[in-house]
Chain A
Amino acid sequence: MLKIKNLHASIDDNGVLKSILKGINLEIKAGEVHAIMGPNGSGKSTLASVVAGKEEFEVTKGTVLFNDEDIEDLAAEERAHKGIFLSFQYPVEIPGVSVTNFMKTAINETRKAKGLEEMPAKEMLKLIREKSELLEIDRKFLSRSLNEGFSGGEKKRNEIFQMAMLEPKLAILDETDSGLDIDALRIVANGVNKLKSKDNAVLVITHYQRLLEYIVPDFVHVLLDGRIVKSGGKELAHELEEKGYDWIKEEVNA
């Protein structure tokens, strides 16, 4: 589904190109759950942003294929239409736009891009009801302005709610566990697990092994200074939790 080959990406830092991703190779197949772990500043969020199509980053080398299509020239919304979803680490506020209205717009814009009619209101309401129940979201919450005054946990739950509504092929969860208490974590993970199928894939970006207790990965990758330096099964996450990243750094430098 997602094939990343020798990906290099930089950001313009006051006129100087600063290299962040330095040759990423990663393949995610349908039905798989991958986790990317790594210390702060290793490039985890950058990788998520580049795949989602944030223009701030410049791809200097390498390719990103999504279902065998090079997506480099696609705008962020076009990638979204193809089924790439990013659960943001810091979801932004849009005052005056309700969660429902935002979701309605997102779904209908995606349908429009696919040449489909707008979703009938009745169907939309049904979908909203179904997905909000899945994430144990109070209906009142849906009429509030998007992310405005939401607690950290509410924001993350809302991200996963949006994911449930949009039913993406590839969901990238960027530190979805940060700011969540244990109950919220369980609800969010439960939601993700219920949405998982053999046709879609999940990429979990996290600092901690905690979330991976609930969303069990098939593969764990360690990102260090813009490169994937180690890959393994779910047990790698445990090892990292126990020993930290220093031993890997030493291994890499050796």
Chain B
Amino acid sequence: MSKYTEDDLREELKTKEYEYGFYTDIESDTFPIGLNEDIVKAISLKKGEPQWMTDWRLEAFKAWKEMIEPEWANVSYVKPDFQGISYYSAPNSKPKYDSLDEVDPELLATFAKLGISLDEQKKLSGVAMDVVVDSVSVATTFKKTLGEKGIIFCSISEAIKEYPELVKKYIGSVVPQRDNFYAALNSAVFSDGSFCYIPKGVRCPMELSTYFRINQAGTGQFERTLVIADEGSYVSYLEGCTAPSRDENQLHAAVVELIALDNAEIKYSTVQNWYPGNAEGKGGVYNFVTKRGICEKNAKISWTQVETGSAITWKYPSCILKGDNSVGEFYSIAVTNNFQQADTGTKMIHLGKNTKSTIISKGISAGKSQNSYRGLVKISPNADNARNFSQCDSLLMGNDCGAHTFPYIEAKNKTAKIEHEATTSKIGEDQIFYCNQRGISTEKAIALIVNGFSKDVLNKLPMEFAVEAKKLLEISLEGSVG
């Protein structure tokens, strides 16, 4: 029998464990592994979906079968075995809860550990939450308040049943089933997600918030989110994620579609903190996400993201600026440490006249990680007077990491004004010493410098989210300077 030695202990202490690395033992209802038409049908049946939805999924599955996994991103990994994954898993409790008392206490304990106690959220922050645990919504709060304004905020499964007209009209309208490999996969097998509709002229009185969580070994998570802001409405939507630590890779392929009708505004903020793998690069979440929004006349969509987790990130929240005078914004902080790889950025597609877009991307690389910004600014022939400003800054820590910038610009209209600025800097020993001399430890100094570097983006986050994001930046970079 091998003995647990002091060396083992040291080794164990050296690898900073993932902060939220715990696992909740909730009885789960999990499908057998593998993917075929029957599985797709079974998912649809399980969720009690109408025929049109089943057909839509099957159409997506057909398209997916013919597609190949993209390889153009600046990341390398062992491709997931799509037949080795279970495509459905739901907490095995009652289908719906009327109150929190009915929720599995262990689940509530998990939330408490994450600092997202529903009670607290309900009472103090005024945030309505649609909590997604392993793909099925188990609690929706503040629904009543929202209901009075005619706002719909529910799980997508519920929306498919209760508001089929809206879902039918808009699902796949921004990200079509065959858009890309992962989007097609998601369209076929999505298990749940959130749906939000803001009626004409309504300003959503609170930040809408969803916490995602992957919680079952070997199950992929395929979330589908659809946000519709009707004419002249406004909504701010928060999405935050943590996942338990796991050795095997977990696949996540979400699709988010935003529709901002005339004069509407959608602010979509994400904090992503999925398990990034350990210090040796083992494990971690594969995060292949398709996020896109469409702006009609005078509409505005802002994407703000703080990406600190996942082993592989492949994500480009984009805006189609279809309507005249519409505005698209993308503010991003992407942190990679150890062996993490991120290829993230945005696409701003200018179709309408006088359309404007702003891109601010802050990449922070530490350890042996690779961090890439990839962005497309496209000005179509009819988009007179389109304007774009892009700024991509990279901050390096140490000598073994990489920062890359891949900006693509396609301008087909002579009136376009496009600006691109990029900088790369390294945290200097002089900066650290300066902080040290003022009584600030190296760890804290790095947090301070990184927060300063990311300020332009942190400022775009809603207050309570910004605090969380700052903490996350510190946790993510702990131990990254020796």
Taken together as a complex, chains A and B put the C-alpha atoms of A19 and B436 apart, in Å, by 25
Can you spell out 16 A-B residue pairs with CB atoms less than 8 angstroms apart? A53-B437, A75-B436, A77-B439, A77-B440, A80-B437, A80-B439, A81-B439, A85-B437, A91-B434, A92-B430, A96-B456, A106-B438, A109-B441, A109-B444, A162-B438, A166-B439
B406 at interface by CB-CB < 8 Å: no
B interface, how many residues as a size bin?
Answer: 20 to 34
- A92-B430, A92-B431, A94-B431 given; A86·B437 CB < 8 A: yes
Please state if A80 and B438 are interface contacts (CB–CB under 8 Å). yes
On chain A, the residues within 8 Å of B453 by CB distance are 95-96
B448 at interface by CB-CB < 8 Å: yes
B428 at interface by CB-CB < 8 Å: yes
A192 at interface by CB-CB < 8 Å: no
On chain B, the residues within 8 Å of A113 by CB distance are 439
A56 at interface by CB-CB < 8 Å: yes
On chain A, the residues within 8 Å of B436 by CB distance are 53, 75-77, 80
Beyond the given A94-B448, A113-B439, please list 10 additional residue pairs across the A-B interface where CB-CB is below 8 A. A75-B441, A77-B435, A77-B436, A77-B438, A91-B434, A92-B428, A97-B452, A97-B455, A106-B440, A166-B439
Taken together as a complex, chains A and B put the C-alpha atoms of A230 and B467 apart, in Å, by 55
A interface, how many residues as a size bin?
Answer: 20 to 34
| Interface residue ranges of B307-342 to A (CB < 8 Å) | none
- A56-B429, A109-B444 given; A96·B452 CB < 8 A: yes
B451 at interface by CB-CB < 8 Å: yes
Which residue of chain B is the closest to A172 with respect to CB atoms?
B437
Q: Which of A86, A95, A106, A110 contacts B452 (CB 8 A)?
A: A95
B454 at interface by CB-CB < 8 Å: yes
- A91-B434, A92-B428, A92-B431 given; A109·B452 CB < 8 A: no
B449 at interface by CB-CB < 8 Å: yes
Which residue of chain B is the closest to A84 with respect to CB atoms?
B437
Which residue of chain A is the closest to B429 with respect to CB atoms?
A56
B433 at interface by CB-CB < 8 Å: yes
Taken together as a complex, chains A and B put the C-alpha atoms of A110 and B437 apart, in Å, by 11
Contact code string A53-80 (vs B, CB < 8 Å = 1, else 0): 1111000000000000000000111001
A212 at interface by CB-CB < 8 Å: no
On chain B, the residues within 8 Å of A96 by CB distance are 451-456
On chain A, the residues within 8 Å of B452 by CB distance are 94-97, 145
Shortest C-beta distance, A138 to chain B (Å), equals 21
Which residue of chain B is the closest to A93 with respect to CB atoms?
B431
A88 at interface by CB-CB < 8 Å: yes
Which residue of chain B is the closest to A97 with respect to CB atoms?
B452
Shortest C-beta distance, B291 to chain A (Å), equals 26
